[in-house]
């Protein structure tokens, strides 16, 4: 079985974006604020948006199940206040839940949180619990920078985040550390901000003792871990300077990397540097990079080809990357599959 731990609903019917545009317009002119009930998307529209897109490509490429969360760049936690984010997150999560209900063999949800800059992180817990309890979601996306590229929140190791971590541990769900759109002109959203955030999140964990406080807390760092695998020696050296334990003991019981690296040399490096137990298959399809690589003739984001061709991986390694590790990092996913006899 091939589990893709990183998919977003990037292909939602246009009515969703229209509703969001009205919500944003309502921040200036409250009379224009739409109610959630004004968003009407039928099951047929949902089905079509998935069958023609993500599910079609999953079938072409041979992946079975995608952990599916709202479109990351649309989270835009910097817009409006907590109520803006709360309404928006509830709508986006419900759509992912409906997709998972329509295609239960192929999609299972992960939640967007209603984060808002400088707002107590406890405000996100009711939506998290609703998604786990009512929707059967198996993870969350945690935005370390809800300001959208200005980094006004404390680091992930700060006690600010601890109430959320307590809930994650209680419900045994991991977080994918995932920023949203950049509203800082210096940082391109998917080319710079995302990779910066992946690297930054790792370093915030490295300099702290977060996982001593939360030994069962788990983060998936997407996009292949940003710059981390490539600079593994720098990070090992910095940890040594800081008198931290070896990274395998300090961080690798808690931090995992996905395979959203869009060329073979990148995957070869990832699988050479990072232990196979810490790598989870993902494509982030349909996402930031949708084109065909002229050097290979295949889609950049068809990451299964790179895993299949990675010279260092055994059959057993590939099984871990495709399925075993995801079941371990997302125990609720494992339980949901086992309940179906899988
Ligand atoms: Zn993503």
CA 1–ligand 1 middle distance (angstroms):
21
Q: How far is CA 157 from CA 56, 94, 217, in A?
A: 40, 30, 12
CA 34–ligand 1 middle distance (angstroms):
27
What are the pLDDT digits (tens) for 238-287?
999 999 999 999 999 999 999 999 999 999 999 999 999 999 999 999 99
Q: How far is CA 23 from CA 27, 35, 70, 96, 173, in A?
A: 7, 9, 17, 20, 30
CA 219–ligand 1 middle distance (angstroms):
14
Residues forming the active site: 284
pLDDT confidence of residue 320: 98
pLDDT confidence of residue 107: 98
* Average pLDDT, integer, range 304-331: 98
- Distance CA(160)–CA(303), nearest Å, equals 36
pLDDT confidence of residue 139: 98
CA 123–ligand 1 middle distance (angstroms):
23
What are the pLDDT digits (tens) for 215-230?
999 999 999 999 999 9
Q: What would the two tokens of residue 205 be?
A: 């964990």
Q: How far is CA 111 from CA 70, 92, 127, 189, 305, in A?
A: 7, 9, 8, 20, 28
pLDDT confidence of residue 157: 98
CB 72 within 8 A of CB 114: no
Q: What would the two tokens of residue 67 be?
A: 């952990």
pLDDT confidence of residue 329: 98
What are the pLDDT digits (tens) for 168-190?
999 999 999 999 999 999 999 99
pLDDT confidence of residue 173: 98
pLDDT confidence of residue 99: 98
pLDDT confidence of residue 23: 98
CA 285–ligand 1 middle distance (angstroms):
9
What are the pLDDT digits (tens) for 121-158?
999 999 999 999 999 999 999 999 999 999 999 999 99
pLDDT confidence of residue 185: 98
pLDDT confidence of residue 178: 98
Taken in order of first residue, the domains within the chain and their CATH numbers are: 3-339 (3.20.20.140)
pLDDT confidence of residue 53: 98
pLDDT confidence of residue 32: 94
pLDDT confidence of residue 147: 98
| Residue 246 phi, psi dihedral angles, 5° rounding | -55, 145
CA 236–ligand 1 middle distance (angstroms):
26
CA 74–ligand 1 middle distance (angstroms):
11
Length reported for the chain: 342
Nearest alpha-carbon partner for 223 in 204, 246, 200, 239? 200
Half-sphere exposure of 74 (CA within 13 A, CB side): 23
**Mean pLDDT of all residues belonging to the chain:** 98
pLDDT confidence of residue 64: 98
CA 222–ligand 1 middle distance (angstroms):
7
Those residues with Cβ within 8 angstroms of residue 225's Cβ, 6 or more apart along the chain or in another chain: 198, 199, 202, 257, 258, 270, 274
What are the pLDDT digits (tens) for 93-108?
999 999 999 999 999 9
pLDDT confidence of residue 205: 98
CA 223–ligand 1 middle distance (angstroms):
8
pTM more than 0.95: yes
SS3 labels along the chain: CCEEEEEEECCCCHHHHHHHHHHHHHHHCHHHCCCHHHCCCCHHHHHHHHHCCHHHHHHHHCCCEEEEEECHHHHCCCCCCHHHHHHHHHHHHHHHHHHHHHCCCCEEEEEECCCCCCCCHHHHHHHHHHHHHHHCCCEEEECCCCCCCCCCCCCCCCHHHHHHHHHHHHHCCCEEECCCCCCCCCCCHHHHHHHHHHHHHHHHHHCCCHHHHCCCCCEEECHHHCCCCCCHHHHHHHHHHCCCCCHHHHCCCCEEEECCCCCHHHHHHHHHHCCHHHEECCCCCCCCCCCECCCCCCECCCHHHHHHHCCCCCHHHHHHHHHHHHHHHCHHHHHHHHHCCC
CA 72–ligand 1 middle distance (angstroms):
6
């Amino acid at each position: 079985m091939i589990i893709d731990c990183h998919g977003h609903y990037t292909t939602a019917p246009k009515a969703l974006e229209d509703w969001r545009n009205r919500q944003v317009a309502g921040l200036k002119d409250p009379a224009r604020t739409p109610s959630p009930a004004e968003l009407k998307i039928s099951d047929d529209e949902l089905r079509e948006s998935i069958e023609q897109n993500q599910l079609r490509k999953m079938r072409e490429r041979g992946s079975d199940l995608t952990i599916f969360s709202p479109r990351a760049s649309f989270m835009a936690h910097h817009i409006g206040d907590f109520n803006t984010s709360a309404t928006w997150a509830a709508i986006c999560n419900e759509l992912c839940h409906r997709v998972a209900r329509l295609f239960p063999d192929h999609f299972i949800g992960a939640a967007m949180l209603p984060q808002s800059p400088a707002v107590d992180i406890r405000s996100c817990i009711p939506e998290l619990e609703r998604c786990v309890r009512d929707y059967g979601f198996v993870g969350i996306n945690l935005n370390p920078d809800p300001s959208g590229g200005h980094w006004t929140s404390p680091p992930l190791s700060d006690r600010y985040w601890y109430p959320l971590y307590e809930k994650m541990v209680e419900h045994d769900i991991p977080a994918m550390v995932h920023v949203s759109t950049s509203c800082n002109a210096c940082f391109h959203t998917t080319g710079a901000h995302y990779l910066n955030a992946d690297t930054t999140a790792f370093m915030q964990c490295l300099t702290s003792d977060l996982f001593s406080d939360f030994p069962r807390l788990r983060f998936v760092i997407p996009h292949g871990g940003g710059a981390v695998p490539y600079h593994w020696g720098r990070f090992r050296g910095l940890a040594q300077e800081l008198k931290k334990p070896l990274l395998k003991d300090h961080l690798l019981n808690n931090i995992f990397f996905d395979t959203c690296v869009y060329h073979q040399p990148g995957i070869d490096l990832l699988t050479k540097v990072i232990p196979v137990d810490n790598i989870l298959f993902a494509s982030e399809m349909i996402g930031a990079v949708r084109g065909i690589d002229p050097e290979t003739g295949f889609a950049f984001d068809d990451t299964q080809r790179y895993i299949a061709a990675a010279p260092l991986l055994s059959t057993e390694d590939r099984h871990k990357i495709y399925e075993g590790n995801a079941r371990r990092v997302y125990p609720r996913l494992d339980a949901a599959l086992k309940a179906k006899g899988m």
